[in-house]
Structure 1
Amino acid sequence: MIQRPQAVPEPLWRQTVKRCALRPNGMATSLMNAMRAKCDLAARLPMDEAFEVFCALSELDAAHALRRRPLRDLGAVLEAEAAEPVIVLNPGGEPRVNRAPEIHGPGHVPELRNTGRRILAGWLEDATVFARSALVARGEELLRDAQHDELTSLPEELAFDPVVFRRTGAAEVAFIEDTGPGRCLHLPRALSLLGINADSFGHWMLEQLPRFLATRALLGAATPPLLVDADIPAQHAEALRFFGGEDGPEIIEVPRGLRVRVDRLFCVLDWAYAPHLITTDEGLDVSKVHAVVPWVAGVYAQAGARADARIAELGVAVAPQIRAQRRVFWARKPARHRSIANWEALRDRLDELGYVTVFPEEMGFAAQVATLRAADRIVVQNGSGSLGLPLARPGTRVLYLSHPEMSRFAWQSEAFACLGFDLRVLSGPFTERSQPWVDQSNYEIEMPVAEAALAWMEADLPHGRGRAMQTARPRP
């Protein structure tokens, strides 16, 4: 065991050793633990020494070395050096308005004005990508999908990326270079769906899946093999097979610690910059965010139009009660963050009105899509699961449950509006305000306020669909 450096206090050393250790199942430590270990060591030791200690504690061999590498905008490199002319999916720079929804309860959702991103697609030659990483290596440079001042305008911790040891400048990082030949896969063509947060359903639905859907629309049967992280949830790979169809592209799992050198890498830029770990979500300058909400909404609208045929083709069943009532409570486990203090009371009231409670994480991806498309009315809790809603049918009425901190929600509500949803928010006061990420806070839904929102949900229902508010059955 490596000795404790004198500059690292004993309690912090014990914590760092624990954070770097392999998990009981033999897997590498989490990206969060690794990031905290990197930051703690780099704050107390010279960078080279901090890296040496980190490697020893993490059991990284001598093939790993620290290299300073500049960060460049992936889009700019793609446009200047792509193997073929790029496809412009959005020109960028245009003024955009993201509309705010109506709210029942406390809080304020401001209208968000911004300028659109330049969204491109094209082939990049001789590139290397890494498991669980947002970076693309090419020569002596690292590429990131970051335009304008996106890389510097948000409080982002780049060391969350497994191949970054620390940030060394506004557009430079200390890169963990691995030259071990046994940890490199070589492919002629690929589309990378690898990512720091690819194991999170919310990030998957906002980043990786739209990237695949756009590629499939552009290239069809010529879509190259898909690179996915080996430890993503089963529903993520199911989503690729659901939309890829029986003749879909090969899916290649990339284990943690592996890099993939690709002769021709197909790249599709994201609809918005994706900071993968902001140090706090308080006081963010949203004017610095460039996004094209209608673009990602359009991608999902096309996917949703194909979903019904796939559901029928696969014979996906939907619960008879959902078929009959056409109402769903798209719920979140009460023990998790963003929990509702009076969740049971709200669930019981929704049950009286015919809403069937489902937990999407307990369902396969195809079953999630089939359930969403069978519903006319959806009550959904704030959280990653809500980002499956773009696959519901146009015309669906949605009641979105949230705490009062919704300063950036207009991006999501604008996407729902573009998809043809009728959306309102039902918010409630904080019961526990979390730090440093306020968005993870718990809250309570005040039932008198909920009744007004539910009256809107139940208004103008087609004949025979569910129960009217005044005829809800009493609880025993």
Structure 2
Amino acid sequence: MSEGVQGTEQIMRPTEIFIDLIRTVTRDNASEMVERLRSRAAAEDRTGAESAAIRRHLEALAFRLEGDDHLGTASDIYDLIGSLVPDGREHWTRAAALARLRDLCGRARFEEASAYVASLRVEDATPALIQDGVAILLRLGWAHEFRNEHGPCLQCYRLAYELNGGDAGVTTEDGDRLSTKVKNLRRLRLDALLEKGQFAAAIAVHGGTRHITGSGPLAAYDMVSVAALVASGGARYTEVLPARRVGAPALRFWEAPPALRSEAGGLDMPAQYLAFLDGCQAFPRSNVVIAGDKLVYDLAAHPRRSDILLQDGLNPDQIMTASFGATRALVEVPESTQTVEAGLMMFGFQSRNYGHWLLEFAPRMLSYNNPRCPDGIPLCIDDHMPDSHEEILRLLDTRDRPVIKLPPKPVEFGLLGMAPVPAFFPFDMKPGRPFYDTVWPADIFAAVRSLILDRARERGILSGRNDRRLFISRKAFTQRALVNETEIAERLRPLGFEVIYPETMSFLEQVATFHSAAVVVGSCSSALCNALFCRPGCRILGLIHEELSFNFRGYTSCIEPSGAQILFLRGRTLHRPGVHAFHVSYTVDPGEVISAIAALEHELVFGTSAGGSISDAASRPVSVWDDGTPLSREHSSTSAEPERVDRERLTHLTTLAAGPHEASGEGLCAMEAVAYLAGEPHSDQPACASPSIAAFIQTWSDGLPQEERDQLILPLVPRMIGTRASEVLERQRIAMVADWLVRTHVPAWFRLAKLNVEADELADRPELTDVAELASLCDHLKRARKRAAVANLTLRQTGSAVRAAAWDAAQQAAWITVRDALEAEGPALLAAGWDSAYAAAYAAARAYGKVPLEPTRRALEQSAFALLERMIEARDPDWAETDAPAAQHGADLRP
């Protein structure tokens, strides 16, 4: 070899060797080779052309490593490129940082990721790097959220918040602030860890995120009742009233008594006590008290506690958060505290609400008035309560105690006196459990009533009148609104009713007003609790929506001690998915109100009972699925059946099959069973039944499992007889189904997918009274379908899960019912119907993997059941008496 060639080879060899090293990097030796490359790069000088060649090879290597999911090594390569290339170093630094973030998060090394994010902030990273890093973390978080992986999702959003330096200018894929996401996900994560008993892990999760929401530290406590704390020597205890059994309330309904879906509250009342705790911590606006390593809360330690939602931390007024496990709880405590030497506990969860205050808090004063409670100890209340609450407190206090208003800060009590809620009263039940309808003890509320009325007489407040007719307005409230209140008020005024607005009155004014009444009509709300102060014999007409899980026993039992009697009149629910079933708005037929009032007044004069009674001892609870959704509205023995039902055959009808069948001996589907009970020839198209209702029920029944078919559809079979009506009414019934699909079914899935604006646009449209009116919604439904399909997984990817929810048996039944009518109206309306179906399906697919679909499907199935009942109850205005069932709801009980 010539000397010239040798010289050239020697000159080129360092770069060639470097490139050869790059080519030998594999997945197995990548980390080691990167260090060799870094050492060689630092030891050699190169020309610009050589550096450019090496940069290209390193860039290709980094790209290959990223493809092999060696993100950490790729990050090292990008760092190396940045050290070799003076120009554009910022670009490579950013690429290295982004690969590092993806690597650490992908391997769930979130502590290292936190330190890395902190180092980027300290090094004053460029805005572009911060922006790109936040975008990557948001994408990672969204992917985890979509897969319902709350732990890593929480960490990614937390890192994005820290890298961004806060919420400013950043929202998640579904429009939430990062701090909101962190707070919500942290709660889900804590609950999941508590179920597994992993308290240390839960505390660690909280510790890493509490700086984002300004939360206090978290600690674990054993949950105990006051009695258990006393038994362990942690408190002093005096029993004021022993445990005892009370009678069941007598529930009365204007309609034929329905089968309630709630669980009847227990009749064994707890002892009323007076307890004193030394050196404890309590929280205004919460029911939780901390004594040493114990969380003292009767409700949390109750045997039924596993079924109920304790709610601490879910109310915006709460100052602390508690996540409750099986026997222990995690409590998040704000660090700023105040000190009170001694106090009596009259603060707590929902103390601001009038009904809760009157039922849960006011009766405690009976214990604090007891001679065994020392004088001079102040009453401690929440500082956000209205004047009426303090007025009640002053009236009930027989010892003239000072009052301390507690701001929302934890309180260190030297001595804390406690008294219990008069009955077991959960705020709400966990999903899947029937609502617990508390029965309030008459002896306690009779004592409260007597004390209040005595004080009112002392002040000369009570009049001698006992003939006033009152209609309670609820116009000031948006929840549980009586939508046609004005219409009812106008119908009642000529009958001598005066409209009252309790929220504008002092408490004693309300007491005096109710005490002077002979008849009271009003929505079942907090104001109706004032019926406790009515005179014996007063009649109450409680207006309410259709929800059969409502606390009918609660209202009856808190009113009964006065000697007044309440009759419930259920109206029509205005369904709105996402609103708690107790708080939905509703309408009531004014004619029904007038008839019920006439019956109550007839009852007063002649003693003939208005409405129908229901006894807990005689009624069976309604079956529920594991998630608590009612399967059926079973009829009590007093329900009136249509005339043409063959009662002997009805006793033999115990199950339904999926049809059709050649003969009755092979089994009966829903509509074949209708023909059987009506004495018609075997057929799945009975002449006595409405075709639209038949189409709905038959499709729904055939799509259900056997157990659910028998529990849900079987009770409806006898009610189908006699529903055939005019073509006008059939068209109205079909319009009811179309209205449900568009204004209830689609918005429910849209709200689950966080498309709230689009959901409201459909839900707030006027009710469809004819299928042809769907023409006005064609454009709206088309836009809704397109909006739901944006940035969504394809239906092919989520098909089976989505079909089980958005296209379940109830939705299919509704579609079958309206399809022919839509097709008859023309292609535009048929297309609108398909847009409605696909909009719901796309929205369900959009929500799939992020939130459970099943609760929405269950809620819609319950809503569809209510729709069916409205279709069954709808009648022609000129309905012939000879064709009618023997009695509609309560008709035989009316004057």
TM-score of the pair, normalised by structure 2: 0.44
What residue is the counterpart of 2:314 in the other structure? Answer: 160
Q: By how many angstroms is 1:140 displaced?
A: 0.8
Equivalent of residue 145 in structure 1, options 298, 301, 308:
298
Greater shift in the superposed pair: 424-433 or 384-393: 384-393
Identify which of structures 1 and 2 has the higher relative contact order when contacts are C-alpha pairs closer than 8 Å and 6+ apart.
1
* Pairing 1:293–2:428 present: no
Contact 1:191 1:266 in 2 (8 A): yes
What residue is the counterpart of 1:271 in the other structure? Answer: 422
Structure 1 unaligned regions, length at least 5: 21-33, 463-476
Q: By how many angstroms is 1:125 displaced?
A: 2.6
Count of residues paired in the alignment: 431
Check 1:402–1:106 CA distance in 2 against 1; reply closer, same or farther (3 A cut).
farther
Q: Counterpart amino acid of 1:357?
A: V
Check 1:277–1:18 CA distance in 2 against 1; reply closer, same or farther (3 A cut).
farther
Q: By how many angstroms is 1:403 displaced?
A: 1.0
Q: Counterpart amino acid of 1:11?
A: T
Distance 1:335 1:192 in 2: 29
Equivalent of residue 284 in structure 1, options 434, 437, 443:
434
Distance 2:267 2:446 in 1: 22
What residue is the counterpart of 2:268 in the other structure? Answer: 116
Q: Counterpart amino acid of 2:498?
A: V
Structure 2 unaligned regions, length at least 5: 1-117, 122-133, 138-154, 161-170, 194-200, 606-895
* Pairing 1:99–2:250 present: yes
Alignment of 1:446-465 (within 5 A): 446-459=589-602
Check 1:285–1:52 CA distance in 2 against 1; reply closer, same or farther (3 A cut).
same
Alignment of 1:314-329 (within 5 A): 314=459, 316=461, 325-329=467-471
Contact 2:322 2:332 in 1 (8 A): no
Contact 2:223 2:294 in 1 (8 A): yes
Contact 1:88 1:120 in 2 (8 A): yes
Distance 1:133 1:141 in 2: 16
Contact 1:316 1:370 in 2 (8 A): yes
Distance 1:44 1:292 in 2: 33
Contact 1:398 1:424 in 2 (8 A): yes
Check 1:217–1:350 CA distance in 2 against 1; reply closer, same or farther (3 A cut).
farther
Alignment of 1:174-253 (within 5 A): 174-178=330-334, 180=336, 183-188=337-342, 190-217=343-370, 222=375, 224-244=377-397, 248-253=400-405
What residue is the counterpart of 2:211 in the other structure? Answer: 56
User: What secondary structure sits across from 1:252 in the alignment?
Assistant: strand
Identity, % of aligned positions: 21
Alignment of 1:33-44 (within 5 A): 36=184, 39=187
Greater shift in the superposed pair: 298-307 or 449-458: 298-307
Give the superposed CA RMSD: 3.7
Greater shift in the superposed pair: 134-143 or 81-90: 81-90
* Pairing 1:173–2:329 present: yes
User: What secondary structure sits across from 1:248 in the alignment?
Assistant: coil
Q: Counterpart amino acid of 1:102?
A: F
Q: Counterpart amino acid of 1:378?
A: V
Distance 2:526 2:183 in 1: 23
Check 1:67–1:18 CA distance in 2 against 1; reply closer, same or farther (3 A cut).
closer
User: What secondary structure sits across from 1:275 in the alignment?
Assistant: coil
Q: By how many angstroms is 1:355 displaced?
A: 1.6
Q: By how many angstroms is 1:122 displaced?
A: 2.3
Distance 1:220 1:141 in 2: 24
CA shift digits 1:11-51 (9 cap, x unpaired): 2897456769xxxxxxxxxxxxx985752675899744653
Q: By how many angstroms is 1:456 displaced?
A: 2.2
* Pairing 1:421–2:574 present: no
Greater shift in the superposed pair: 118-127 or 64-73: 118-127
Distance 2:313 2:575 in 1: 29
Greater shift in the superposed pair: 268-277 or 421-430: 268-277
Contact 2:545 2:570 in 1 (8 A): yes
CA shift digits 1:224-259 (9 cap, x unpaired): 3111111112211111112226x5211110101231
Q: Counterpart amino acid of 1:293?
A: W
In terms of fraction of residues, the more helix-rich structure is 2
CA shift digits 1:323-368 (9 cap, x unpaired): 5851211221265121122211111122222221112112111211
Which is greater in Rg? 2
User: What secondary structure sits across from 2:574 in the alignment?
Assistant: strand
Equivalent of residue 496 in structure 2, options 354, 357, 366:
354
Equivalent of residue 380 in structure 1, options 493, 512, 522:
522
In terms of fraction of residues, the more strand-rich structure is 1
* Pairing 1:367–2:509 present: yes
Distance 2:599 2:311 in 1: 42
Distance 1:234 1:450 in 2: 33
What residue is the counterpart of 1:256 in the other structure? Answer: 408
Contact 1:298 1:419 in 2 (8 A): no
What residue is the counterpart of 1:6 in the other structure? Answer: 156
What residue is the counterpart of 1:132 in the other structure? Answer: 285
Contact 1:98 1:414 in 2 (8 A): yes
